[in-house]
Structure 1
Amino acid sequence: MRSYLPQGPLPAFYHYYPGVPAVVGVRLGEKVNFCPAVWNTGLSADPPLFGVSISPKRFTHGLLLKARRFSASFHPHAQGALIHWLGSRSGREVDKGQTPHFLGHFGVPILEGAYAAYELELVEVRPFGDHDLFVGRVVAVWEEEGLLDEKGRPLPGLSLLYYGKGLYGRPAEEAFTP
């Protein structure tokens, strides 16, 4: 195994991948935008807090700061091409609001086809390096029951995985407890 001491940004920062992208949906006035964020995480169960890391360079960043409400949706691997398209185009240049979606209880856009989604109210934004962490309190949960097991987990083999640099996949369909 080789090692090195990084001087500045890492040449490859994908060792902890794959990750499940959360598609962030935000609406400001009539403008709707979607942005996949693979840097996402649950932060607390009580109160329910969820975080997404977004670069200030992204169009979504400015919308989130102003709208203060957003969604995070999780999608099956069959939607990989759509999620890739959403992540490879800027909302400054294309109207991602034309993508099939619905508005949640609190008016946030949720991308169609998700197996689960959260509606979030922005609690805090903190800068960490070249990204800002947007922390939201979960105010509503959407679940596609036929795609989840009895504990609310996505069925084995369902989730879209992102490996970095445009590479997508899915988990093995066999799940086990060691």
Structure 2
Amino acid sequence: MTSDPRLARRIEGLLRDVPDFPKPGIVFKDITPLLADADAFAATVSGLAESARAAGGVDLVAGVEARGFLMAGALATELGCGLLPVRKAGKLPPPVKSVRYDLEYGSAEIEVPHDIAPGSRVLLVDDVLATGGTLRAAAQLLTEIGAEVVALAVILELADLHGRDVLADVAPLDALLSV
């Protein structure tokens, strides 16, 4: 599902392209202008919250480091539920569960607290969906610790990279803007 066209246009107008970041050939989608616009940020959070509501509610919002944290905190507040960080390796105290995965421009390792989410219904959120590797790895970790990922939500989907296809068997995916 993709959001209403008015919200999508609003979001698109507030994104900034940064060429050759973090590596040559990559066009980084900067959401900072969106975050700085209070009304647009609130509308974005409300739009993302619809994913959790459509899934029948959630116990936790899991946000992927780092920009996913920003959305997850606001979403958890809006939804009246808890927040679960999905962090880069070495940033959480033990016990943790971790996984290494490939990115479109390298590889990374993420981790989640091992003992927080068993039995929880989780909305997994990030800012941008590219190839789907990060969200897939995060969903794998959440499942391994006993949580149920009931929905995925992103602000922006880079459709040409086919990340949605990689996530088709994980949970329903909502993107507020697809380019």
User: Which structure carries more relative contact order (alpha carbon 8 Å, separation 6+)?
Assistant: 1
Which has the higher Rg, Structure 1 or Structure 2? 1
Same fold at TM > 0.5? no
Higher helix share: 2
Taking structure 1 as the reference length, what is the TM-score of the superposition?
Answer: 0.24
The structure with the greater share of residues assigned to strand is: 1
